[in-house]
Amino acid sequence: MARFTSLADHKFRIYGLLIAVVAVILLVTLHMLNYQYEEEWRDRIFIINHFIIVFGLYMIMFSKEIHDDERVQRIRYNLLKVNYTLTICGILAYIAITTLDRVTLSIYIVFYIIETALIIYQLLFRYCLARNPDWIFKETTRNKFAVYYVFLSLLFLIGWIIYVVIKFKI
Amino acid sequence: MRNTIKVERAKKNITQADLAKAIDVSRLTIHSIETGKFNPSILIALKIACYFSITVDELFILEETD
């Protein structure tokens, strides 16, 4: 009996890449031509275009490699954590900035954050597959970074309190 | 944890690619196991041990630091 897998076949990497590349070319072309079909349609077309890019990049991300053994799965698992952290923190930080500084929330920036995180994931994934760096496998070496996480979180918290005190004159 | 995969390979006179093909993993996976970067699952450890007709504890040796 075939084992269940949430990943698509490795051929889907090529389909995902094609979809993403075509969507990027289309987006760049529309920007270069300064596309103006109808005012309310402009944003819709650009947003759909970004959706297609994200869809293509996710398709690459959730496709198997040709030799999808447990080393590849370990690399994927560790880098997915990085990708989700980058995406969630990026979007939350952007929403926080727009709320506090009264800046209009732009859906394009949200798309850029998601796309950047996905591209970083792809670059790191390919690098790790080719180079087998120690840090991707060894939990013990990465645990050293726990101190930096705590330090950065505290720094962020202190900065946040200072910002709130200055901004809202508490 | 250290292992004797390289020694066993030399005894059998096979390459990393041959071993990888025999147990259905990539050559880089064998390389990363050999160099101690990656600790394989029990399944792969058993497959390698079976391939060399030895036991898992002869193939993988625990060290003081483990």
Contacts of A74 in chain B (CB under 8 A): 38
B44 CB neighbours in chain A (<8 A) are: 69-70
A36 assigned to some structural domain: yes
Residues of chain B contacting A71 with CB distance shorter than 8 Å = 25-26, 28-29, 32, 38
What is this model's ipTM? 0.83
Average pLDDT, chain A: 85
Q: Could A137 and B37 be called an inter-chain contact, meaning their C-beta atoms sit closer than 8 Å? A: yes
Structural domains of chain B, ranges and CATH numbers in brackets: 2-61 (1.10.260.40)
Q: How confident is the model at residue A91, as a pLDDT?
A: 92
pLDDT in tens, A42-79: 788 888 999 999 999 999 999 988 888 889 999 999 99
Q: In this structure, is the dihedral angle defined by the CA atoms of residues A60, A64, A69 and A73, taken in order, positive or negative?
A: positive
Per-residue pLDDT for chain B (66 aa), expressed as one digit of tens each? 888 999 999 999 999 999 999 998 999 999 999 988 888 999 999 999 999 999 999 899 888 777
pTM of the prediction?
0.79
Please report the residues numbered 3 through 42 in chain B whose beta carbons come closer than 8 angstroms to any beta carbon of chain A.
24-26, 28-29, 31-32, 37-41
b/e for A111-148, b at 16 or more Cβ within 10 A?
A: bebbbebbeebbebbeebbeebeeebbeeeeeeeeeee
pLDDT in tens, A96-129: 888 877 788 889 999 999 999 999 999 999 999 9
Task: Flag whether A46 is in a domain.
Answer: yes
A119/A74 Cα distance (integer angstroms): 19
A153 is a domain residue: no
* A49 is a domain residue: yes
User: Into how many domains does chain A fold?
Assistant: 1
**Rounded to an integer, what distance in angstroms lies between the CA atom of residue B52 and that of residue B41?**
17
Identify the domain containing residue A31 by its residue range: 7-64
List, in sequence order, every residue forming a beta bridge with A65; answer none if it has no partner: none
Give the model's pLDDT for residue A134: 82
Band (pLDDT 50/70/90 cuts) for residue A135 is: confident
Nearest Cα to Cα of residue A16 among A136, A121, A130, A127: A121
Alpha helix segments (H runs only) across chain B: 5-12, 16-23, 27-34, 42-52, 56-59
A119 within some domain: no
* Segments in A11-145 forming alpha helices (H): 11-32, 39-61, 70-100, 107-131, 139-142
Indicate whether A37 belongs to any domain: yes
Token output for A169: 């004159």
Q: Helix, strand, or coil here: A4?
A: coil
Q: Does a structural domain hold residue A129?
A: no
Residue A5, pLDDT score: 67
Note whether residue A17 is domain-resident.
yes
